[in-house]
Amino acid sequence: MLDALPSQCLVCHAWPTQPICETCVTRFAQPQPRCSTCALPVPPGVRQCGACLQTPPPLDSCLAAVPYAFPWSDLIVNYKFHGQPGHAGALALLLRSTPWVEPALDAADAVVPMPLSKIRLQARGFNQALTLARELAPGKTDSRLLLRIKDTPAQSTLTRAERLGSVKDAFAVEPLLLGQVRGARLVLVDDVMTSGASLYAAARTLKAAGAAHVTGLVLARTE
């Protein structure tokens, strides 16, 4: 399902198998009902959570593959902070297997990775969202469209209110590429969605520049 070539499973370390084996997908990555605009779990048959109904977010839709919990949280930390960009292929295949992800990528005019600040990019060595986006849609990924113009503290260290405030005015659309954003259907890619503050701020920036539709696509969603 996830890869035709035998390898060692990144989760259970079984060998030989796929990068994420069928047993681990079945056990830890079963699709679950999620709010269509923030990707939080909802009861079966419910399309949107109460919070999104009351205050619609700037994302037109939001898709997440798995919860940010064992074993995915450990795998993402290893990918993101321990210099493992090679894991992006397996993670992208896991994301592509999520319902509605393929149609969203097919319908997109461009796939936009969440940008990192220069300081964080230098410390990490690569942008995990960009590497993931290139694996998902190499022909559509464009890292030039959205810029991060303000460095912000790690979102995990902040309260929800602080997160919302810290990312205000953190993003901008490349002025020379405004024509590619106006009227476009965009997919905004990140590895983890926590409060949604960063994704929402980026989506607002793209919408303000004239984007017609913005889908948030994340590997994992905190719950």
DSSP line for 172-207: EE-GGGHHHHTT-EEEEEEEEESSSHHHHHHHHHHH
Is there a single domain that holds both residue 40 and residue 20? no
Is there a single domain that holds both residue 99 and residue 180? yes
Is there a single domain that holds both residue 8 and residue 47? no
pLDDT of residue 77: 94
Is there a single domain that holds both residue 55 and residue 2? no
Is there a single domain that holds both residue 73 and residue 39? yes
Structure tokens at 52: 């999104």
Is there a single domain that holds both residue 65 and residue 23? no
Percent of the chain, pLDDT > 70? 91
CATH number of the domain within which 95 lies? 3.40.50
Query: Running DSSP on this structure, what letter comes out for residue 41?
Result: B
Is there a single domain that holds both residue 113 and residue 58? yes
**Residue that has been written with the tokens 């919990």 in this structure:** 69
Is there a single domain that holds both residue 38 and residue 4? no
pLDDT of residue 153: 61
pLDDT of residue 200: 97
- What residue numbers bound the domain in which 103 lies? 31-221
pLDDT of residue 1: 43
Other Cβ atoms closer than 10 A to 137: 20
Is there a single domain that holds both residue 154 and residue 129? yes
Query: Running DSSP on this structure, what letter comes out for residue 49?
Result: -
Question: CA-based angle 53:59:63, to the nearest 5?
Answer: 95
Is there a single domain that holds both residue 184 and residue 210? yes
* Residue stretches of the chain with pLDDT short of 50: 1-4
In sequence order, the 6+-apart residues with CB closer than 8 A to the CB of 126 are 85
Is there a single domain that holds both residue 7 and residue 105? no
pLDDT of residue 17: 81
Residue 202: name the closest of 162, 150, 154 by CA: 150
Q: What is the pLDDT of residues 2-44, one digit of tens each?
A: 444 567 899 999 988 888 999 999 999 999 999 999 999 999 9
Alpha-carbon span 115 to 123, nearest angstrom = 14
Is there a single domain that holds both residue 75 and residue 20? no
Alpha-carbon span 57 to 54, nearest angstrom = 9
pTM tops 0.95, yes or no? no
How many domains is the chain partitioned into structurally? 2
Residue 9: name the closest of 72, 89, 76, 90 by CA: 90
